[in-house]
Amino acid sequence: MALAFSATTVRTIVVCVAALARGLALGRLGRLERWATAIAGAAFVLCGADSEFLGL
């Protein structure tokens, strides 16, 4: 059961990050390019929050 829980959580995070990356790749970031690492970190935090609030 714990393995299924872990796999679902990791899969959810990967899907969220992939969706965010795809969305960011479609547009030009311009001046936000220098903040790419911070944006990536925020994406991981948001995905963690998604997992927490979805009960995964």
* Domain map (residue ranges) of the chain: 9-54
Helix, strand or coil for residue 22? helix
**1-56: pLDDT as tens digits:** 778 888 888 888 788 778 877 877 777 777 877 887 788 788 778 877 877 777 75
Give the pLDDT score at 56: 59
Give the pLDDT score at 53: 77
Helix, strand or coil for residue 44? helix
What pTM does this model have?
Answer: 0.52
Whether residue 11 contacts residue 18, with contact meaning beta carbons closer than 8 Å, is answered with: no
Give the pLDDT score at 10: 82
